[in-house]
Amino acid sequence: MSWSVSACGPAAKAAEQLEQQFTKITCTDPGEQETVQKVRALVAQTLATIDPEKLVNVTGSGSMGYEEWSSHVGPYQSVDLKISPIHLTV
């Protein structure tokens, strides 16, 4: 399975948008669901340390697969998370 979330804007608003997106992710594999919940907590904790009005761009995605799909041998997960401030110059 694969999942993704993204938001751009003030940190507080981005956190709200991302939380809504995370609540809609359902994974059939318990390990993958645990990974999603840990990424969710990490994103929330990180955004809570940023000025609520500071502009940020957040993207996160993940996938799970098996070396042999039919027998579920060799499970693996891939996770990519980026939280970046947006610097505006006037």
Split at pLDDT 50, 70, 90, the class of 11 is: very high
Q: What is the mean pLDDT of the chain?
A: 93
Confidence (pLDDT) at 69: 63
List % helix, strand, coil for the chain (3-state, nearest 5).
Answer: 35, 40, 25
Confidence (pLDDT) at 61: 98
Q: What is the pLDDT of residues 45-60, one digit of tens each?
A: 999 999 999 999 999 9
Split at pLDDT 50, 70, 90, the class of 9 is: very high
Q: Outline where DSSP puts E strands in 20-72.
A: 55-68
pTM: 0.88
Where do the structural domains in the chain lie, given as residue ranges? 2-85
